[in-house]
Amino acid sequence: MKKDLEKRIKLANEYIQFAIDNKMVYVWDYFGDSSPVYMTFKKPISVSKTGKVVTVFWDDGFDFVPRKYVGKFYTTNEDDVESLREEISGIIRAIKREARAMGIKLSHK
């Protein structure tokens, strides 16, 4: 796995931990779709010991009907890496948006 992807996953996990600690329920983003995806996080993104498989977890509350989402991405597949990057960006956007609504400014720069 490339170092920049490792750093991005670490950053996403910091945001996810913030969401868990602050009991954020149903943060949302579009992920390129016309309907928002509602997410509640209970655990961070995991990386396999080999670094070849990255798994993203959240409870999906679309229409407020809870469903489990588990996304598996293979770091040896460039399309998966691009999809993972997009998901991480959406997760960070969603958590930042909810934090702003709570009066908290988050920044990783």
Q: How far apart are CA 81 and CA 87, in angstroms?
A: 10
Cα–Cα separations (whole angstroms), residue 91 to 31, 49, 76, 96: 9, 23, 22, 9
Confidence of residue 28 (pLDDT cuts 50, 70, 90): confident
Residue 32 has pLDDT above 80, yes or no: no
The alpha carbons of the chain give a radius of gyration, in whole angstroms, of 14
Average pLDDT rounded to a whole number, residues 42-55: 94
Q: How far apart are CA 65 and CA 108, in angstroms?
A: 32
Q: Where are the alpha helices (DSSP H) in 1-109?
A: 3-21, 78-101
What is the per-residue pLDDT across 59-84, written as a single tens digit (0 to 9) for each? 876 666 667 888 899 999 999 999 99
3-state secondary structure of 62: helix
Cα–Cα separations (whole angstroms), residue 14 to 5, 41, 64, 82, 106: 14, 12, 25, 20, 11
